[in-house]
Structures are given as C-alpha cells and as structure tokens.
Chains A and B, each alone.
Chain A
Amino acid sequence: MPAEPARAPRYAARRRRNAIAMVLAVAATAFGLGWLVLILGALLWEGLRGLTFQVFTEMTPPPGGAGGLLNPIIGSLILTGLGVLFGTPLGVLAGTYMAEYGRYDELTTVVRFINDILLSAPSIVVGLFIYEVMVYPMGHEDMLLLLPDQLREAASSIGMPRAVMITRIAYRAARAGMITGVLLAVARISGETAPLLFTALNNQFWSLDLNAPVASLPVVIFQFALSPYKEWQQLAWTGALIITLAVLLLSIVARTLASTRKDPQ
C-alpha cells in the first residue's frame, strides 16, 4: 500500500475498526460456545455423580429415600411414542395437502398463519398432543416444498395420478428430510415440560395405564429440583443429564441424516 501522508490516518482508522470487529466476532463465538461448555459441563459434573445402575431399575423414591427414575423414563418414552403415533400421520397428511394439493388456497394460508402464531406462543397453554400437531405439518410441508417441481411434472406427464405421484415419488424423494423432521420433533417434545405439568400430571409409581396420571422425566426434574431434599435434587440432575444426552444424540443423528441427504446434490 503506497501510504500517502494524507490518507494514512484514515486507512489506519479503518484497519483498526476492522480489527475491533474481528476480535468481537471471535469473542462472540467463544462466548456462545462457552455457554454450551458450561451447561454441558455442569450437567456432567452434577449428573454423573448420581448416575448409577439403580437409576434405571428403581422407582422414584419418597423424600429422603433412595431410588431411581425408572417410572419417569418409561413415562417419557410412552408419552413421546404416543405423540409420534398420533402426530406423524396427521402431520404428514396435512403437510401433503399444504404442499401438494392446496399450495395456494385459503385453507393452507390460514393453517400456516395460525401455526406460526401457536408455534412461538407458549407451549404451556397448549397440551403436548396439540404441540405435536403444530410441530409436524410445517416440517413435512417444507420438505415437500423443497422438491423440484420438474419431478412432479415428469411424473404427471407420463399419466401418473396425483396420489400415486405423491406417495411413490414425492414421499420417497423427501424421505430423509421427513425422518429428520420426525427426529427433531421427538427431540423437541421429549424435553417439553410445561404442557405436561397440567395434562399428564405426575405419578410417583409404576403405571402403564394410559388413563392414569403418568410420570415423565421433565416434570420429575421440575419437582425434584425445587424440592429441599438432597436426594431428590441429585436425581433431578441425573435425570437432566439423561434427557439432555438423549435429546442431543437424537438431534445429532437427525443432522447427520440431513447432511448426507444434501451431499450428493
């Protein structure tokens, strides 16, 4: 750079501003990653201490006693499973309508708009099942919308009925994306606490009865963490560790699936 005397200070000022911005950017990234390390570190530190075999084989204890988290773990699995069981077909079909048949009609616009509002609105006011209904259609619609229209046109041009085109062509092409969507939704709902506080209530004991109150990990964590008993608080940390690891594992699997889908393109 030929440093003209008059320009040099200005150039130096620009470089300085640039350097400050770059340092800030690096600092911001370190800040963001720092939180992840702090939170996961705390979880491992506090949670591993209580992570014994007992946790997976025994019921939640009475105050002051020893026990495990078997019933909330099973309860969480049941609730999540039920959610997926009901949510997936409804979500896939509704998403199909919104992306394939009624892409521009009013029903789609209205559903999409209400969905937008409810998605960012409090899950607490809305039951878990309802939450499912909201998480699903949008994901599937997006995946189907990503497909190139030529695919549909090619199928239609050889005389395929639309239903066949959708089930044989569109679903297959969007399959990886849809599985990713389901996994992410599972990750999301299995950590949801708020709606369960009212809908599933809680149950300290073993229960497979779907009509009875059922324990679930997030609710147990909530109650045990806020209790004054040391043993309960320890179980809350352990439960938190279990649920976080499960959820993070799910989302990493989902992301890997999503990226293998992208690569061949």
Chain B
Amino acid sequence: MAEVALRGGAIPVSQQGERGRVLQRLHFRDAAFRHLTRAAALAVLIILGGIILSLVHGSWLALSTFGLGFVVSDAWNPVTEKFGALAPIYGTIVTSVIAMLIAVPVGLLIALFLTELCPPWLRRPIGIAIELLAGIPSIIYGIWGLFLFAPFLQETLQPFLINTLGNVPGIGGLFAGPPYGIGILTAGLILAVMVLPFVTSISRDVFEAVPPVLKEAAYGVGCTTWEVVRYVVLPYARVGVIGGVMLGLGRALGETMAVTFVIGNAHHIAGSILAPGTTISATIANEFTEAVGDLYTSSLIALGLLLFVITFIVLAAARYMLMRLNRRIGG
C-alpha cells in the first residue's frame, strides 16, 4: 500500500482519478476497520456489563426480601428459606487471609533467591517450575487436596496445632476442636500454593527491574545481601510487589473448585480455623444445581454479586494505595 503514497507525484494526469479512487478506498477501509475494532471493544463492554446487570437482576429477590440482613445474618436454611451470607463471607475472607499470610513472605523469599542467590543457569528452570504451579487446573488442586493433603494434615499438622497452639490462652480457640482434615485451614493452605506463583513471578520481575547501580552502591558500602534486599530492592519494588499481591488476593477470593473440595461446606461460623466452613464460590458451586425455589437461587446469585463487591473493594483499595505510593515517590 505504501507504493501508492510513494508514487504520488510521478503519476500522469490520466491516472489522477484512479489514484483518488484508490485513496478513497483505503480511507474507507481504514474507517471500516476502525469501526470494526470499536464495535468489538463495545461488545466486550456490553457483555461484561451485562453480566453485572444480570447479577443485580438475579439477586434482586433475595436482597429485597432480606435487605441488609442478608449480609449480617449467618442463617442458611433452604427448608425455611432463611438465607444469610455472613458464613460464606467469613470463610472467603479467612481462607484468603491465611493464603496471603503464607504466600506473600514465601513468594518474596523465592523472588529473593531467584534474583540474588540462584546461579544464573538455574534461574529459568526454577522460575518456570514455580510458574507451572499456576498452570495446574484448580480442580487438580481440589482432588489432590481431598484425597491426599487433607488426610495428611488430619494425621500430622492438625493434631500438632491442637496440642500446642490450641492450649495457648487467647489464640487457643483458633486451633480448637477435632482434626477433621478438611476445613478452613486446609483450604487456606491450598490457596496459598495456588497464589504463590503469582506473587513470586511478579516480585521477581520487579526485583529484576531494580537498577543494578542502586544495588551495587549498597554492596559497595558493605551491606549484606539481606540488607540490600530489605533496604534497597524492596522499597524500590514495593509498588510492583503490591500489584502482585493484589492479583494473588483476587485469585484467592474467587477460587472455586479447589476450595469446594476441601472446605467442608458447613454453613456456620466456627471459632476454630480447623473446623469446616464454606466460601462464597464454594457455596455457589455446591448448591446452584440443586437449588429449588426462586428465593434460594436468588440468594446464591446475590452471593455472587457480593463476591464482585468484595473484589471491587479490594481492587479499588489497591489502586488507591498504588496511586498514593506513586505520588509520594513522584513528589
């Protein structure tokens, strides 16, 4: 097409008309392509917006029946048609918090290892191996968690926790009760493994983006590797690290299948993290196909909407935090 423009001046008068037509056709095609891509972007927007609207529409019955009580009640009784979302909300948040408490420090340490300690020829294989954890479908984590990991925890970690931390006054209640194997802690641990690659790979990328001059200067004045990472790399990379953490948190909040297998699906809020519980997405996965009655279905959809709201709040908070951090760095 470029030759049309390049040939420009040398075209005899007899061809001027043709040239105009070619240019016009090109112009038309350009406009058509532009509108086509715009239509596609609009279609995506309409579909995405449609999901949210249909969620609001579907949950209307439940929300108007229970009002604010839906969010603060932990009742979940399909027989008497009393539904409250507190237990799933609690489970969702607690499992995600457990996951992040484990995944963030471990992920950062792995990123430290990969960028500062690891011999260069090992970096890529180890990095890929960790990222493969993110590629394993979530249902695999579920089946593995249910058949192998939960029984293992039931015999080892959970009795240990009950016998040691369970007797500590104050936090003992968190580790009380019989070791079921499945439960909130197990779900949190599996989520931690699923979230780990997100935190690790993003942290590694931002660690690598730290200008070598900064690190060399710190090493030059005699800092240890740990001090370089703690006082130079981390402060420089914190915006990116927060982004990775938020991505992981988003995944943890919405994760469905792995959690459904191991959470136990119990609609009550237990004080102990060893007890079975439920999360928003696990409740939907378990009960949607067997929900009878409009109110039941509507309540499940309302749960989905709540998960959107929670995710939205988390994302918005992350954006706000990043904005403030950027401003402070920029100012």
Contact = CB atoms under 8 A, between A and B. Distances in A.
Interface string B113-150: 11011100000001011111101111111111011100
B1 A98 contact: no
Interface in A60-98: 89-94, 96-98
A243 B138 CA distance: 11
B30 A161 contact: yes
Given A35-B193, A107-B38, A160-B1, A122 B26 contact: no
Contacts of B48: 111, 114-115, 118, 130, 133-134
A123 B256 CA distance: 8
Interface stretch (B39-47, B76-84, B171-179): B39-47
A165 B96 CA distance: 46
Contacts of B133: 32, 35-36, 39
B58 to A, nearest CB: 10
B250 interface: yes
A124 B284 contact: yes
B191 interface: no
**Chain A interface: which size bin?**
35 or more
Contacts, number: 258
Contact of B251 (A89, A120, A158, A222): A120
Interface stretch (B60-68, B159-167, B303-311): B303-311
B125 to A, nearest CB: 10
B117 A26 contact: yes
Nearest to A33: B129
A207 interface: no
Interface stretch (B209-217, B219-227, B268-276, B320-328): B219-227
B51 interface: yes
Closest A-B pairs by Cβ, 6 of them: A191-B137, A120-B250, A159-B5, A93-B40, A28-B109, A163-B33
Interface of B: 1-2, 4-6, 8, 26-27, 29-30, 32-34, 36-45, 47-49, 51-52, 55, 105-107, 109-110, 112-114, 116-118, 126, 128-133, 135-144, 146-148, 193, 196, 200, 224-227, 229-230, 247, 249-251, 253-254, 256-257, 261, 280-281, 284-285, 288-289, 301, 304, 307-308, 311-312, 315
Interface of A: 14-15, 17-18, 21-22, 24-29, 31-33, 35-36, 39, 42-43, 46, 89-94, 96-98, 100-102, 107-108, 110-111, 114-126, 130, 133-134, 137, 158-164, 166-168, 187, 190-194, 197-198, 218, 221-222, 225-226, 233, 236-237, 240, 243-244, 247-248, 251-252, 255
